[in-house]
Protein backbone atom coordinates (compact mmCIF):
# COMPACT_ATOMS: atom_id res chain seq x y z
CA UNK A 1 0.00 0.00 0.00
CA UNK A 2 1.15 3.49 -0.78
CA UNK A 3 1.80 6.01 1.91
CA UNK A 4 -1.24 8.24 2.52
CA UNK A 5 -3.74 5.50 1.64
CA UNK A 6 -5.51 6.18 4.93
CA UNK A 7 -5.68 9.89 4.33
CA UNK A 8 -9.19 11.26 3.85
CA UNK A 9 -10.77 8.19 5.50
CA UNK A 10 -13.33 10.48 7.18
CA UNK A 11 -14.30 12.02 3.84
CA UNK A 12 -14.69 8.55 2.35
CA UNK A 13 -17.03 7.60 5.22
CA UNK A 14 -19.22 10.63 4.48
CA UNK A 15 -19.26 9.82 0.77
CA UNK A 16 -20.26 6.21 1.45
CA UNK A 17 -23.07 7.33 3.77
CA UNK A 18 -24.38 9.58 0.97
CA UNK A 19 -24.20 6.76 -1.57
CA UNK A 20 -26.16 4.55 0.81
CA UNK A 21 -28.80 7.27 1.12
CA UNK A 22 -28.97 7.53 -2.67
CA UNK A 23 -29.93 3.86 -2.93
CA UNK A 24 -26.63 1.99 -3.12
CA UNK A 25 -27.28 -0.94 -0.79
CA UNK A 26 -24.75 -3.58 -1.92
CA UNK A 27 -22.48 -3.86 1.13
CA UNK A 28 -19.56 -5.17 -0.88
CA UNK A 29 -19.64 -2.02 -3.05
CA UNK A 30 -19.91 0.36 -0.09
CA UNK A 31 -17.02 -1.36 1.70
CA UNK A 32 -14.86 -1.22 -1.42
CA UNK A 33 -15.57 2.50 -1.84
CA UNK A 34 -14.58 3.03 1.77
CA UNK A 35 -11.31 1.19 1.19
CA UNK A 36 -10.11 2.49 -2.19
CA UNK A 37 -8.26 5.84 -1.97
CA UNK A 38 -9.87 7.75 -4.88
CA UNK A 39 -7.52 10.70 -4.41
CA UNK A 40 -4.66 8.70 -5.96
CA UNK A 41 -6.60 8.38 -9.20
CA UNK A 42 -6.73 12.15 -9.78
CA UNK A 43 -4.14 14.68 -10.76
CA UNK A 44 -2.86 16.24 -7.53
CA UNK A 45 -4.64 19.55 -8.17
CA UNK A 46 -7.97 17.74 -7.76
CA UNK A 47 -7.05 15.48 -4.81
CA UNK A 48 -8.92 17.69 -2.36
CA UNK A 49 -12.13 17.16 -4.34
CA UNK A 50 -11.72 13.39 -4.61
CA UNK A 51 -14.51 12.64 -2.16
CA UNK A 52 -17.09 15.02 -3.50
CA UNK A 53 -19.64 13.14 -5.54
CA UNK A 54 -18.61 14.62 -8.88
CA UNK A 55 -16.86 13.51 -12.07
CA UNK A 56 -13.38 15.06 -12.41
CA UNK A 57 -10.85 15.46 -15.22
CA UNK A 58 -7.99 12.99 -15.64
CA UNK A 59 -5.28 13.12 -18.32
CA UNK A 60 -5.95 13.11 -22.08
CA UNK A 61 -9.24 15.04 -21.85
CA UNK A 62 -11.00 12.11 -20.16
CA UNK A 63 -12.86 11.93 -16.85
CA UNK A 64 -13.04 9.72 -13.78
CA UNK A 65 -16.71 8.85 -13.29
CA UNK A 66 -18.67 10.32 -10.39
CA UNK A 67 -18.57 7.95 -7.37
CA UNK A 68 -22.36 7.56 -7.55
CA UNK A 69 -22.09 6.46 -11.19
CA UNK A 70 -19.37 3.90 -10.37
CA UNK A 71 -21.49 2.51 -7.53
CA UNK A 72 -24.69 2.57 -9.63
CA UNK A 73 -23.17 0.67 -12.57
CA UNK A 74 -21.48 -1.81 -10.23
CA UNK A 75 -24.73 -2.45 -8.36
CA UNK A 76 -26.56 -3.19 -11.63
CA UNK A 77 -23.99 -5.91 -12.38
CA UNK A 78 -25.18 -7.88 -9.30
CA UNK A 79 -21.83 -9.60 -8.89
CA UNK A 80 -20.64 -12.31 -6.51
CA UNK A 81 -17.01 -12.34 -5.32
CA UNK A 82 -14.86 -14.33 -7.75
CA UNK A 83 -16.96 -13.37 -10.79
CA UNK A 84 -15.11 -12.57 -13.98
CA UNK A 85 -15.79 -8.96 -14.98
CA UNK A 86 -14.80 -7.00 -18.08
CA UNK A 87 -14.63 -3.20 -17.98
CA UNK A 88 -14.47 -1.08 -21.13
CA UNK A 89 -12.68 2.24 -20.49
CA UNK A 90 -10.04 1.75 -17.77
CA UNK A 91 -9.43 5.51 -17.61
CA UNK A 92 -7.92 6.33 -14.23
CA UNK A 93 -8.32 2.72 -13.05
CA UNK A 94 -10.68 3.64 -10.21
CA UNK A 95 -13.60 1.46 -11.29
CA UNK A 96 -11.17 -1.44 -11.85
CA UNK A 97 -9.77 -0.92 -8.33
CA UNK A 98 -13.29 -1.04 -6.85
CA UNK A 99 -13.99 -4.31 -8.66
CA UNK A 100 -10.66 -5.80 -7.50
CA UNK A 101 -11.33 -4.69 -3.92
CA UNK A 102 -14.73 -6.44 -4.16
CA UNK A 103 -12.92 -9.69 -4.94
CA UNK A 104 -13.69 -9.92 -8.65
CA UNK A 105 -11.48 -11.33 -11.38
CA UNK A 106 -11.05 -8.11 -13.35
CA UNK A 107 -10.28 -7.49 -17.04
CA UNK A 108 -10.22 -3.92 -18.31
CA UNK A 109 -9.56 -2.37 -21.72
CA UNK A 110 -8.42 1.20 -22.48
CA UNK A 111 -7.80 2.69 -25.93
CA UNK A 112 -5.53 5.53 -24.79
CA UNK A 113 -1.90 4.38 -24.30
CA UNK A 114 -1.03 7.02 -21.70
CA UNK A 115 -4.07 6.30 -19.53
CA UNK A 116 -3.49 2.55 -19.90
CA UNK A 117 0.09 2.87 -18.68
CA UNK A 118 -0.72 5.24 -15.81
CA UNK A 119 -3.54 3.00 -14.58
CA UNK A 120 -1.35 -0.10 -14.81
CA UNK A 121 1.34 1.54 -12.66
CA UNK A 122 -0.99 2.98 -10.04
CA UNK A 123 -3.11 -0.15 -9.64
CA UNK A 124 -0.02 -2.28 -9.12
CA UNK A 125 1.37 0.19 -6.58
CA UNK A 126 -1.90 -0.05 -4.68
CA UNK A 127 -1.68 -3.85 -4.73
CA UNK A 128 -4.41 -4.48 -7.33
CA UNK A 129 -3.69 -6.79 -10.25
CA UNK A 130 -6.43 -6.64 -12.85
CA UNK A 131 -5.68 -7.85 -16.39
CA UNK A 132 -5.29 -4.69 -18.47
CA UNK A 133 -5.36 -4.45 -22.25
CA UNK A 134 -4.56 -1.55 -24.57
CA UNK A 135 -7.04 -1.71 -27.43
CA UNK A 136 -10.55 -1.20 -28.73
CA UNK A 137 -12.91 -2.35 -26.01
CA UNK A 138 -15.94 -2.35 -28.32
CA UNK A 139 -14.57 -5.67 -29.59
CA UNK A 140 -14.39 -7.08 -26.06
CA UNK A 141 -11.63 -9.47 -24.98
CA UNK A 142 -12.65 -12.80 -26.54
CA UNK A 143 -9.64 -14.71 -25.22
CA UNK A 144 -11.00 -14.69 -21.65
CA UNK A 145 -14.74 -14.78 -22.41
CA UNK A 146 -17.35 -15.48 -21.18
CA UNK A 147 -17.77 -12.83 -18.46
CA UNK A 148 -20.33 -12.76 -15.65
CA UNK A 149 -20.40 -9.00 -15.94
CA UNK A 150 -19.38 -6.41 -18.53
CA UNK A 151 -19.44 -2.71 -17.67
CA UNK A 152 -18.94 0.00 -20.27
CA UNK A 153 -17.82 3.31 -18.75
CA UNK A 154 -18.12 5.45 -21.90
CA UNK A 155 -21.11 6.62 -23.96
CA UNK A 156 -22.11 4.18 -26.68
CA UNK A 157 -24.37 4.71 -29.72
CA UNK A 158 -25.68 1.15 -29.31
CA UNK A 159 -24.93 -2.22 -27.78
CA UNK A 160 -21.74 -3.62 -29.35
CA UNK A 161 -22.46 -7.14 -30.62
CA UNK A 162 -19.09 -8.61 -29.50
CA UNK A 163 -19.85 -7.61 -25.89
CA UNK A 164 -23.25 -9.29 -26.00
CA UNK A 165 -21.61 -12.44 -27.37
CA UNK A 166 -18.95 -12.50 -24.66
CA UNK A 167 -21.48 -12.64 -21.80
CA UNK A 168 -21.94 -15.87 -19.88
CA UNK A 169 -25.47 -17.24 -19.65
CA UNK A 170 -26.90 -15.41 -16.62
CA UNK A 171 -24.35 -12.63 -17.12
CA UNK A 172 -25.15 -8.90 -17.30
CA UNK A 173 -23.90 -6.09 -19.53
CA UNK A 174 -24.30 -2.56 -18.13
CA UNK A 175 -23.86 0.18 -20.72
CA UNK A 176 -24.87 3.84 -21.19
CA UNK A 177 -26.51 4.15 -24.64
CA UNK A 178 -27.61 7.32 -26.39
CA UNK A 179 -26.21 10.34 -28.23
CA UNK A 180 -23.19 12.37 -27.14
CA UNK A 181 -25.25 14.62 -24.83
CA UNK A 182 -27.14 12.08 -22.77
CA UNK A 183 -27.27 8.32 -22.39
CA UNK A 184 -29.66 5.93 -20.72
CA UNK A 185 -28.17 3.17 -18.58
CA UNK A 186 -29.19 -0.17 -20.03
CA UNK A 187 -28.76 -3.62 -18.58
CA UNK A 188 -28.74 -6.55 -20.94
CA UNK A 189 -29.04 -9.97 -19.30
CA UNK A 190 -28.21 -13.11 -21.23
CA UNK A 191 -31.00 -15.42 -20.17
CA UNK A 192 -29.95 -18.38 -22.33
CA UNK A 193 -27.66 -19.03 -25.31
CA UNK A 194 -30.16 -17.37 -27.62
CA UNK A 195 -32.29 -15.08 -25.39
CA UNK A 196 -31.52 -11.73 -23.85
CA UNK A 197 -33.57 -9.17 -21.97
CA UNK A 198 -32.93 -5.44 -21.75
CA UNK A 199 -33.90 -3.19 -18.82
CA UNK A 200 -33.76 0.61 -18.85
CA UNK A 201 -32.50 2.79 -16.01
CA UNK A 202 -31.49 6.42 -15.38
CA UNK A 203 -29.83 8.93 -17.69
CA UNK A 204 -26.15 9.93 -17.41
CA UNK A 205 -23.51 11.76 -19.39
CA UNK A 206 -20.27 9.94 -20.24
CA UNK A 207 -17.31 10.70 -22.53
CA UNK A 208 -17.67 8.93 -25.90
CA UNK A 209 -16.84 5.28 -26.55
CA UNK A 210 -14.67 5.47 -29.65
CA UNK A 211 -14.12 2.32 -31.69
CA UNK A 212 -15.26 -0.07 -34.36
CA UNK A 213 -18.58 -0.78 -32.62
CA UNK A 214 -18.82 2.65 -30.96
CA UNK A 215 -18.45 6.23 -32.25
CA UNK A 216 -16.05 6.64 -35.14
CA UNK A 217 -13.17 9.09 -34.82
CA UNK A 218 -13.50 12.12 -37.09
Compute the least distance from the CB of residue 96 to ligand SAH, in Å.
7
Report DSSP letters for 23-40, one per residue. T---HHHHHHHHHS-GGG
Question: Which of 30, 47, 115, 167 is in the footprint of ligand SAH by CB under 6 A?
Answer: 115
Question: Which of 37, 130, 137, 178 is in the footprint of ligand SAH by CB under 6 A?
Answer: 137
* 8-state DSSP, 209: -
How far, in Å, CA of 157 to CA of 177, rounded?
Answer: 6
Binding to ligand SAH (CB under 6 A) within 63-92 occurs at 63-65, 88-89, 91-92
- Of 29-37, 109-117, 167-175, 181-189, the window that binds ligand SAH (rule: CB under 6 A) is 109-117
Compute the least distance from the CB of residue 181 to ligand SAH, in Å.
16
**Cα of 210 vs its chain's centroid, Å:** 16
H-helix segments, 23-88? 27-35, 67-77
Q: Which of 104, 106, 86 is nearest to 150 (CA)?
A: 86
How far, in Å, CA of 35 to CA of 101, rounded?
Answer: 8
Question: Which of 8, 40, 72, 94 is in the footprint of ligand SAH by CB under 6 A?
Answer: 94
How far, in Å, CA of 138 to CA of 30, rounded?
Answer: 29
List, by residue number, the catalytic residues: 65
Binding to ligand SAH (CB under 6 A) within 143-182 occurs at 153-154
Contacts with ligand SAH by CB under 6 A lie at 62-65, 88-89, 91-92, 94-95, 109-112, 115, 136-138, 153-154, 207, 209-211, 214
Amino acid sequence: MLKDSYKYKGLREILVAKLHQSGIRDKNILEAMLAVPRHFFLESAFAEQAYEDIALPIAEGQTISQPYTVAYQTQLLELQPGDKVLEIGTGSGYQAAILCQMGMDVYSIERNPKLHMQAQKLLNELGYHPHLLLGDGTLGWPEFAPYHGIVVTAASPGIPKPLKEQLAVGGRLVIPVGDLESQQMLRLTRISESETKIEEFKYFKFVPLIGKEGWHEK
